[in-house]
Amino acid sequence: MLIERLDPLERVLDAHAAALGNDIIAYRNHTYRVVNLHAALSPCDDGALEKVGVAAAFHDLGIWTAHTFDYLAPSIDLACSHLECAGHGDWRDTVTGMIREHHKVRRFHGTDAAFIEPFRRADWIDVSLGVLTFGLQRARVREILARWPNHGFHKRLAQLTFTRLRSHPFSPIPVLKW
């Protein structure tokens, strides 16, 4: 079963539609791919899925709202403000952990690993266009990737990486963590 709509995710994306501009469909599809890949890696109840949806909505958003490719801190700040306003301050550590660690290259060990590690893997599966699967069946990965087409998301990431490389040749992907 695919998760077709998550209202908390949609509310965040709608609130930031102007900042996302022409990239809104590409980013929305990326967030739904990450949510669905997370759910495939680690099935969870509706409450947990809501947390994943909020983290997905904010995890890369700082690229557009803060106009930077060093976007983890701005994305986390946005998520924290949102969680407080939405009455979910108790989700702060889990959601910010998912955002902070989603570009970690190696496995995450630590508090909230049950949320953070599948989120990290889900983002890597999507960013690698399904080359990485972390044990998911390739047919399932292809189904998820096909349901929410790329719409230029990876092209935008490549553009941002090359722009960053020109101005910061020794730090082209500042969000990458070991």
Domain of 156, CATH number, reads: 1.10.3210
Number of structural domains (the chain) is 1
Let me know if residue 43 belongs to a domain.
yes
Assigned domain for 63 exists = yes
CB 147 within 8 A of CB 37: no
100 inside domain: yes
Range of the domain at 150: 7-167
What pLDDT is attached to residue 167?
Answer: 86
Instruction: Spell out a b/e string for 112-151, using b for 16 or more CB atoms within 10 Å of the CB, else e.
Output: beebbbbbbbbbbbbbeebeebbebeeebbeebbeebebb
Residue 1 falls inside a structural domain: no
Per-residue confidence of the chain (178 residues) as pLDDT tens digits?
A: 899 999 999 999 999 999 999 999 999 999 999 999 999 999 888 889 999 999 999 999 999 999 998 999 999 999 999 999 999 999 999 999 999 999 999 999 999 999 999 999 999 999 999 999 999 999 999 999 999 999 999 999 899 888 888 888 888 777 777 7
**Rounded CA separation 12/54 (Å):** 8
The reply to whether 173 falls in a domain is no
- The tokens of 58 are what? 């904010």
Inside any domain, residue 177: no
Residue at 76 is within a domain? yes
Q: Tell me whether residue 66 is in a domain.
A: yes
**CA–CA distance, 98 with 24 (Å, rounded to integer):** 21
